Amino acid sequence: MAQEDACHIIKQYFDHLEVALADPHETVDINQLQEMLLELSLFLRSGKNQIKADGYLRLLNRLTAIYAKGLQVKDDRAFACTAANFADILESISQSFQDYDYSQSIRLLLHYMDKLFNYREESWIEVYEHLLCMPDSIRILQQLKTGHLDDIKRWIEEGVDNLYTLWDEQLELIKIQSQDLLDLDTEILSRQQTLLDKGRLFFRANVADLALFRERHEVTKLMNRRHDLHSQRKSKLEIVCLLEDNIAEFADLLARMRRSAMLHLAWANPTPTQSRDR
């Protein structure tokens, strides 16, 4: 397919994407946008087009400009949730066209990767994987791959993608245990009041009652059970604190990586049409 025909098709994709992402009053069909961008990625990877350097340049400038608008809106979830597709397209083009300054595009990917982690969307890992697959000749990636991206790899190997799931599970167990403790406290207080009332009666009558002793034994068992349950709940609270520390530490890593990319961009001071980031 000739370049102009291919670029015309891609422009139609981008026109639809830009309109869908730009309207804050419209319910965005994120799944539909993801499928559309996947089609575009497959088209670019198919080798059925004859796009040359100037065509790739226009394509990258337009796509980067579209996703840069997500920095200016309050609700950027649609931008973030399609960022993995954005990364997929960038990775695809970078394999064929490296004479481009990808700094701004990569900075946007890091921004949305951070957002996706905070939104608890697993696709942040897809953004990371596409970044790893982009050519090492891209200067900003040389810096990231020997630093922050290696750190992220270690976190992934240690199960960072499960942190929020584990955190939710522990909070749910703590919620159940808290209710169990409340129920036990209610039962213990009720039994203790019964013991107190019966004890006064039997004391005045100067008689002993076997049932009273058994009731006291049951209260003791409930108190022991409460102690064990309280210890279990305390342990789970400690686990939650540890998970929260890990989540905060990893979020800080993402933020530091994003700041590093911003610093690189500031020093490079690129424009959308600059080339050669190698």
Binning pLDDT at 50, 70 and 90, where does residue 29 land? confident
Q: In this model, does residue 80 exceed pLDDT 50?
A: yes
The amino acid that residue 182 corresponds to is L
In angstroms, how far is CA 72 from the centroid of its own chain? 20
Name the DSSP class of 162: G
Give the tokens for residue 185: 């406290």
Percentage, residues of the chain above pLDDT 90: 58
**Rounded (10°) angle between helices 103-118 and 210-268:** 170
Q: pLDDT of 126-174, one tens digit each?
A: 999 999 999 988 888 888 888 889 899 999 999 999 999 999 999 999 9
pLDDT by residue (tens digit) across 173-194?
A: 999 999 999 999 999 998 888 8
How far apart (Å, rounded) are the C-alpha atoms in residues 112 and 118? 10
| Residue pLDDT, tens place only, 218-273 | 889 999 999 999 999 999 999 999 999 999 999 999 998 888 877 766 665 544 44
pLDDT at 91: 95
Choice between 24 and 178, residue whose per-residue pLDDT is larger: 178
What own/partner pairs with CB < 8 Å and gap ≥ 24 does 251-257 have?
251/114, 251/117, 251/118, 253/148, 253/151, 253/152, 253/155, 254/110, 254/113, 254/114, 254/117, 254/152, 255/114, 256/148, 257/110, 257/144, 257/147, 257/148, 257/149, 257/152
Which of 246, 234, 242, 236 shows the shortest CA–CA distance to 170?
236
Predicted confidence at residue 260, as pLDDT, reads: 80
Q: Single out the residue of 102, 98, 103, 63 nearest to residue 83, CA to CA.
A: 63
Of the candidates 152, 151, 154, 132, the one whose C-alpha atom is nearest the C-alpha of residue 142 is 132
Residue-level pLDDT at 202: 53
